[in-house]
A = this chain, B = another copy of it.
């Protein structure tokens, strides 16, 4: 009976086996089950309708790839104990457990002082308490404090199992097939040198391909103009909702959402970590989506209108360019919006936004992608690639956006 549950169908890899009891127990925990109701790509499905896959699937997939990597490294002579294997699998399984619904928008509105990595760690520590220390190794690996650093590299690095899975999976579900990476081939080329994760020399082309695929996915999917516009709208909406709440109006909300709508200072004083984790772990996309549908009919004209736009996918227009927008242009746009929609100066900032999105193809901090040459040295990929030079590859490419209501250009 138990055995039956231990193989899971996955459209990307075929079948995923649950490798041990710890993983099985973690997967069954409500905090992990919650990830079923949080989409990996948040609002990207507004542009790519297939991209509704959940963070639950991604975490399983990353764990599966990590298992393959452990197998490969062992076959090349790296000793990995059962306890270490259990630790690294648990670490990768839980690496995204701190994500809230529509993570990007949420972190810029209701939970602005808590990046998801911090939250993941907080939740792992809570879990560790209830599991009587079974996550010690996983947490050490996740924090980068485990002595054998290559385990951390598998979980968090320029070419970790997280990225390998999400690129392949996001490519699969969006239908942007060029973003696909040969995870099998790359994993077969992994190795360990001086306790760090490295790639065998003949894997250079695969690494290059991986970096380009990631870059493409950034501009084609993650930073797609319409996705940016939708995230901006949701962010504005949530900021406004908090504003309205702070002004004393009680908006329809689940208790978990209500907790985060409250002004921060109200809850900060007596907040302990367990309480925070408790509320956070009750939150998924349904809290946000159901609320926005109700708020369409709320008393605040601005919030109601923002919600209507969000629910009906009547998004803001967006322009992207390589230089910051001229403040005069932004001012004119705001002015025109105020006139067209009859908004006050305070209100218009929910409708007209400027800002930037960026991507760095390769961030040459630690842990870098190191290539194991036949002579045993392990230079950075940028030092041995014929194609890339470090400057071009590491350059941070920024694009600036300006959002405004479509009504003003009609």
- List residues of A whose CB falls within 8 A of some B CB: 7-12, 14-15, 28, 30, 33, 36-37, 39, 45-50, 52-54, 56-57, 60, 172-178, 180-182, 184-185, 188, 205-206, 208-209, 212-213, 215-216, 219-220, 252, 254-256, 282, 284-291, 293-294, 297, 311-313, 361, 386-389, 392-393, 395, 397
Asked if A9 meets B289 with Cβ closer than 8 Å, knowing A208-B212, A212-B212, the reply is no
The reply to whether B212 and A30 form a contact with Cβ atoms under 8 Å apart is no
What B residues does A386 contact at CB under 8 A?
392, 395, 397
On chain B, the residues within 8 Å of A30 by CB distance are 311-312
Q: Are B185 and A178 interface neighbours, CB within 8 A?
A: yes
B11 with A172: CB separation less than 8 A:
yes
The answer on a CB contact under 8 Å between A175 and B14 is: yes
Q: Which residues of chain B have C-beta atoms less than 8 A from A54's C-beta? A: 45, 49, 52
Residues of B within 8 A of A175 (CB): 9-12, 14-15
Instruction: With a 10 A CB-CB cut-off, give which of A9, A45, A181, A255 has the most chain B CB atoms.
Output: A9
Inter-subunit contact A290/B212 (CB<8 Å) = no
The count of identical subunits is 4
Residues of B within 8 A of A392 (CB): 386-389, 392
Would B14 and A254 count as touching, CB distance under 8 A?
no
CA separation between A389 and B172, bound complex, in Å?
30
Q: List residues of chain B with CB within 8 A of the CB of A294.
A: 254-255
